[in-house]
Amino acid sequence: MHHRRRGTYHLIRWLPEPSLAGRRIPVLLVEPDHGTILYEAWWYFTCRETATKSDSWKIVAARTIGRFYDSCRVEGLADKILGNELPPTYAENLIQKYLTRLQFGTLEADGHDPTGLNWNPTSEKDVYNAIYHLRRFLLKLDDHMGNTSCAATRFARGAVNALAIERRRAKSPLFNSQPKTQSVWTAATAAHPIIRARGFPLQLLPRLISTGCRRNHPIMEFRGPNGAPTTASDFNINLLMAVLLMAGGGLRTSEIFHIYVDDVSPTEVRLYHPSEGQVYDGHRVVRRDIYLQRVFGLKPRHLIRGQQKAGWKNIEITESGNWSPVYFLPGWQQWFYEVFRAYRQYVMKDRTHHPYLFVSTDAASACDPWTIGALRKAFEKALNKIGVEQRHSDGTTPHGMRHAYGQALVNAGVHPILIKTCMHHCDLDSQLVYTRPDPGKVNKQLQEAYAASFAEASSSRPYASGITTESILDYNFTADPLGMFRQLELEPQHGFR
């Protein structure tokens, strides 16, 4: 027997879906004791556009749909009831009530809950995510009901009718949470502000690499002629290469685990889409998911579960064959190749069970694909060696390397359009969380401007005289990221220096 949490009318279970070649999707059980599923949610997660999303994206969507179903259930919309038309009042405030309950909770001051849902208040971020996923689900459901002759459930009819009502409302949070003339980014930030993320402190990188990545006990098997120490024997060479790719090439932590041995050529490192990227299988060029299945009996790592899983966030693909080059900061590419040569000579061995670049050097799992868990453990150990605690707020995490890379591009004067390409972002505004200046730089800019204003005391606008359009744009003080294009008119385009 299934047990559901108090205050819910559904359970979420991950089950294999035959129509998606056995890939697992979240299924909402609305009558757990009888195995009844919420058909509309099942159909939604089997749609091609949704099936390609990450597991983390799907679970947030499933929770949103499940809570919306619970809220509708409280209003009398039971999924199992098909007969009779719905009174107009049923759909009148379904979405409004759901969002209100989500934001403020359902518990009254005395602890009484007339709905029985027992929801606690949620953050603006969670409400924004719920609006996004609910809107997407309802719009897709509306299209589906218009293209099928199947009898719709009361839940589906009520949800679609509620969607139609929200479309007609002048200030519906589902469609009009911001003026339509504003950019998508502005709409997102209004409800879900982008907080500046800290990059890994650059002053710590030399010690992290020279001391943190050094092994306590060398691997004698990787020693050179006459037992001479090598980079492979005396350093955690996996961690060292990962740091060079993340801090010097801006890669996400998960992305390095999709790199094949052959993706590293003498002149460049390529980042392929883990499923759709092309690879030569010895006879012809095929997709990577086909190659992995036929040659190794594996699935791409972003489609599996367990320790070997490595996520994937959509990136800007610039080359035919579904790949983009890794753009190293000046000097870092040469450094990476020096380490890679040692890795290739001492660590890389013939492997018949996978094509991945990073392999474990532990005796128990030698030559198996290296894992994200192993990277995180090694990274934390390296920080401990140099007396640094791992904290997201300080940027001392593996992903903090990518943030440091983005800040380095800004400090070098690289144009936002080039930063977008270097960081493989699909949108210009995605870089803002990486490139927004830290408070120290903002204060320094203001102090310099204030000092300059006194130097020009005769000016009619003394307190503004030291602040130039160029200096403001350099630090992205404008709220609209599309304002970055103004730099095209006011200053020359900057490339790598």
Domains delineated in the chain:
11-177 (no CATH), 202-397 (1.10.443), 402-490 (no CATH)
Distances (CA, A) of 43 to 18, 21, 38, 130, 270: 13, 15, 9, 19, 36
> Average pLDDT in the 352-361 region?
92
416 versus 77: the higher-pLDDT residue is: 416
Q: Given this model, what pLDDT does residue 258 score? A: 98
The separation between CA 410 and the C-alpha centre of its own chain, rounded to angstroms, equals: 21
Whose CA is closest to 315, among 302, 306, 297, 334? 302
Average the pLDDT over 97-121 and give the result.
Answer: 88
Structure tokens at 37: 């599923």
Q: Is the pLDDT of residue 200 over 70?
A: yes
Strands 23-31 and 11-17: antiparallel
Q: Is residue 286 predicted with pLDDT exceeding 80?
A: yes
* pLDDT tens profile 134-165: 999 988 888 876 555 455 677 877 787 777 77
Asked if 288 and 339 touch (Cβ cutoff 8 Å), the reply is no
pLDDT at 411: 86
| 278-280/270-272 β-pairing | unpaired
Q: Note the pLDDT of residue 251.
A: 97
**pLDDT surpassing 50 at residue 115:** yes
Mean pLDDT across 250-264: 97
pLDDT of 92 above 80: no
* 3-state class (DSSP) for residue 26: strand
List Cα–Cα distances, 458 to 269, 453, 455, in angstroms: 56, 9, 9
Span 10-57, pLDDT tens digits:
999 999 988 888 789 999 998 766 568 898 999 999 998 898 888 889
Give the distance, in angstroms, between the CA of residue 68 and the centroid of all CA atoms in the same chain. 25
Of the pLDDT bands very low, low, confident and very high (cuts 50, 70, 90), residue 93 is confident
pLDDT value for 451: 63
Average pLDDT over residues 406-433: 82
Once rounded to an integer, what is the mean pLDDT over residues 486-495? 37
Q: What is the pLDDT, as a whole number, of residue 44?
A: 93
Mind giving me the DSSP string for 422-450? HTT-SSGGGGHHHHSPPHHHHHHHHHHHH
Query: What is the pTM for the complete model shown?
Result: 0.64
Q: Of the given ranges (115-124, 153-162, 252-261, 410-419), which has the lowest mean pLDDT?
A: 153-162
Q: In terms of pLDDT, which residue wins out, 433 or 255?
A: 255
| Tokens matching residue 115 | 């709905």
Question: What is the arithmetic mean of pLDDT over 166-185?
Answer: 54
- Residues contacting residue 46 through CB under 8 Å, at least 6 positions apart: 17, 19, 20, 25
